[in-house]
């Protein structure tokens, strides 16, 4: 088995002083896994993603990413770690409206030197890296320099996927990226995303409440079962 990319131990998390949200005894995700996380709303999905992304720190327990204990680091360190190692895709409105398609894709490379270098070492130049990923994800070359506001939602989500994948981060987190898409483009998007994660050797953490998608994944986690907290279910 490959080295674990995410290890959670005895995780307890609550928002400020309010009621607890997460209680996860253990979760390990190995590098290269395609993980589907589902669960009803309110079961703590976004809290879990915020903890893995290093935005929030748990009150108790350990969060190890790539073997590093991120919850013992400062927020600046976690910011840098996230920029270098994690690509993110949200539900919708992923793109900065004032940048063109290519510039949106290249954003992570501007904030992270390692991803900048990896993109260049793999494709020769940033522009070629962006155009390769965009083409793979089915964005026509004529759209590369267009404002993102001219794209359809499906196209926007694929641009967001290209952005999450550029510079080959070890982990790609997708937070309900298909919820705004119709079922045809949903499956197409998912297939492209998984293919590209395979290409980049990135682990994929895919959060959705649409259970029809789960057959595409190597592992399915139901958060409400994983989470030991009774109030949250």
Partner 1 sequence: MNTVAMLAWQSMKNRRLTAIMTILAIAVSVTLLLGVEKLRTGAKVSFSNTISGTDLIVGARSGSVQMLLYSVFRIGNATNNIGWQSYQDIAANPKVNWTIPISLGDSHRGYRVLGTNTDYFKHYKYGRNRQLQFSAGRQFNSLYDVVLGAEVAKKLGYQLQQSLVIGHGIGNTSFSKHQDQPFNVVGILKPTGTPLDRTLHVSLAAIEAIHTDWQSGAYIAGSGGDLPIEASQLQPTAITAVLVGLKSKMAIFGLQRSINNYRSEALQAILPGVALQELWAMISIAEKMLLVISSFVVATGLFGMLTVLLTSLNERRREMAILRAVGARPWQIFLLLMIETAGLTLAGILLAIVMLYGGLAITMPLIESQFGLFLELSWLSSYELRLLVVVFVGGALCGLVPGYRAYRNSVSDGMTVRV
Q: Is residue 178 within the footprint of partner 1 (CB under 8 A)?
A: no
Q: Is residue 15 within the footprint of partner 1 (CB under 8 A)?
A: no
Instruction: Output the CA torsion sign for 10, 63, 44, 190.
Output: negative
Closer residue to partner 1 in complex, CB, 29/83: 83
Q: Is residue 205 within the footprint of partner 1 (CB under 8 A)?
A: no
Among 76, 141, 142, 215, binds partner 1 (CB under 8 A): 76
Q: Is residue 133 within the footprint of partner 1 (CB under 8 A)?
A: no
Closer residue to partner 1 in complex, CB, 30/120: 120
Task: Tell me the backbone φ, ψ of residue 193, rounded to 5 degrees.
Answer: -65, -45
Closer residue to partner 1 in complex, CB, 46/73: 46
Q: How would you classify the pairing of strands 34-38 and 20-30?
A: unpaired
Closer residue to partner 1 in complex, CB, 26/95: 95
- HEC string of the chain equals CCCEEEEEEEEEEECCCCCEEEEEEEEEEECCCEEEEECCCCCCHHHHHHHHCCCCCCCEEEEEECCEEHHHCCHHHHHHHHHHHEEEECCCCCCCCCCEHHHHHHHHHHHCHHHHHHHHHHHCCHHHHHHHHHHHCCCCHHHCCCEHHHCCHHHHHHHHHHHHHCCCCCEEEEECCCCCCCHHHHHHHHHHHHHHHHHHCCEEEEECCCHHHHHHCCEEEEHHHHCCCCCCC
Q: Is residue 193 within the footprint of partner 1 (CB under 8 A)?
A: no
Binding mask 19-48 for partner 1 (x = CB under 8 A): ---------------------------x--
Closer residue to partner 1 in complex, CB, 139/148: 148
Among 88, 119, 200, 207, binds partner 1 (CB under 8 A): 88
Among 48, 70, 83, 126, binds partner 1 (CB under 8 A): 83
Among 22, 37, 43, 49, binds partner 1 (CB under 8 A): 49
Least separation, in Å, of the C-beta of 112 and partner 1?
5
Q: Is residue 58 within the footprint of partner 1 (CB under 8 A)?
A: no
Applying CB under 8 A, the residues found at the interface with partner 1 are 46, 49-50, 53, 55-56, 75-76, 79-80, 82-84, 88, 90, 93-99, 103, 107-108, 110-112, 163, 175
């Amino acid at each position: 088995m490959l080295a674990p990319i995410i290890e959670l131990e005895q995780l307890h998390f609550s928002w400020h002083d309010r009621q607890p949200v997460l209680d996860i005894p253990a979760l390990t995700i190995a590098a290269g896994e395609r993980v589907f996380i589902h669960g009803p709303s309110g079961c703590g999905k976004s809290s879990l993603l915020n903890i893995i992304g290093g935005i929030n720190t748990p009150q108790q327990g350990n969060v190890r990413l790539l073997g590093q204990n991120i919850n013992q680091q400062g927020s600046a360190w976690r910011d840098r770690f996230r920029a270098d190692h994690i690509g993110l895709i949200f539900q919708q409105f992923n793109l900065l409206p004032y940048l063109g398609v290519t510039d949106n894709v290249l954003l992570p490379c501007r904030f992270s030197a390692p991803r900048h270098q990896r993109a260049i070492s793999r494709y020769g130049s940033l522009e070629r890296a962006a155009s390769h990923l965009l083409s793979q994800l089915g964005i026509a070359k004529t759209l590369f320099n267009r404002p993102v506001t001219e794209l359809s939602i499906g196209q926007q989500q694929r641009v967001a996927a290209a952005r999450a994948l550029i510079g080959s981060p070890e982990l790609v987190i997708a937070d309900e990226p298909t919820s705004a898409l119709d079922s045809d483009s949903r499956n197409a998007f998912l297939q492209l995303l998984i293919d590209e994660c395979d290409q980049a050797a990135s682990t994929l953490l895919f959060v959705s409440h649409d259970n029809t998608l789960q057959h595409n994944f190597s592992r399915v986690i139901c958060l409400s079962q994983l989470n030991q907290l009774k109030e949250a279910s």
